């Protein structure tokens, strides 16, 4: 059982505000010349739309059986293969043309070692010229000061936010006690992970409209490539 199973019943409400990333990832799927993989596929929010819009088959991997059960029900009849697995142990039957991780899901990994393992497994699983795309928030002291300790109601999902700068951690605790944590990283850390994995930055955007990344950007939207 995954700690994220407890979030599966409320995930749709939790993620309802996030729609702007879909077109970005769908466009990358459309451009991919070969196998496509989504890691942390969850309930299929992005993957199902990508298959619908492009007609391409896709492999989705997630560590939560409950999330995958929802995705399987929704993806019935679509060329979307769903597989239980840990992204840190990624192994594919054939090299991919595109691997992507939406919705800041890399932040569920604690520390450099786990993140580096994923980047290296992704790089090993890409064909030459293949892309790896992901997004993550850029930590803002202003945002953290405003939200730390507050209780939010996100479409009926009531939760409290706690920021722990000493550990680069955000704790999200639901009113029923279910909890998840996110660990943020700096631009230098993301760039370092890309470099040690042997990947190259193709583009870094400040948002899903592919606007330039600036000092004021609140999102890292990376597209990297295997040489």
What tokens were used for 22?
């879909």
Q: Give me the pLDDT at residue 129, please.
A: 98
Q: Which parts of the chain register pLDDT below 50? A: none
Of 163, 178, 145, give the one whose Cα is nearest residue 64: 178
Burial 66-91 (b: 16+ CB within 10 A, else e): bbbebbeeebeeeebebeeeebbebe
pLDDT of the residue at 1: 59
Instruction: Report how far residue 41's alpha carbon sits from residue 59's, in angstroms, rounded to the nearest whole number.
Output: 9
Q: CATH 3.40.50.150 occupies which residues in the chain?
A: 3-138+186-225
CATH topology of domain 3-138+186-225: Rossmann fold (3.40.50)
Q: What pLDDT is attached to residue 79?
A: 98
pLDDT given at position 14: 86
């Amino acid at each position: 059982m995954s700690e994220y199973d407890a979030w599966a019943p409320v995930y749709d409400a939790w993620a309802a505000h996030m729609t702007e990333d879909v077109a970005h990832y769908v466009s990358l799927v459309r451009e991919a010349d070969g196998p496509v993989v989504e890691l942390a596929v969850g309930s299929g929010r992005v993957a199902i739309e990508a298959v619908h819009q492009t007609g391409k088959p896709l492999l989705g991997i997630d560590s939560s059986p409950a999330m995958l059960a929802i995705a399987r029900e929704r993806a019935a009849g679509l060329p979307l293969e769903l597989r239980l697995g840990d992204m840190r142990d990624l192994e594919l039957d054939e090299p991919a043309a595109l691997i992507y991780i939406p919705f800041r899901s890399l932040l569920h990994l604690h520390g450099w070692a786990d993140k580096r393992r994923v980047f290296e497994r992704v790089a090993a699983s890409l064909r030459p010229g293949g892309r790896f795309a992901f997004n993550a928030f850029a930590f803002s002291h202003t945002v953290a000061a405003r939200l730390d300790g507050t209780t939010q109601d996100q479409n009926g999902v009531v939760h409290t936010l706690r920021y722990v700068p000493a550990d680069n951690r955000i704790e999200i605790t639901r009113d029923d006690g279910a909890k998840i944590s996110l660990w943020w990283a700096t631009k230098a850390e993301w760039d370092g992970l890309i470099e040690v994995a042997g990947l190259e930055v193709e583009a870094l955007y400040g948002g899903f409209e592919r606007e330039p990344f600036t000092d004021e950007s609140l999102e890292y939207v990376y597209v990297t490539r295997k040489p």
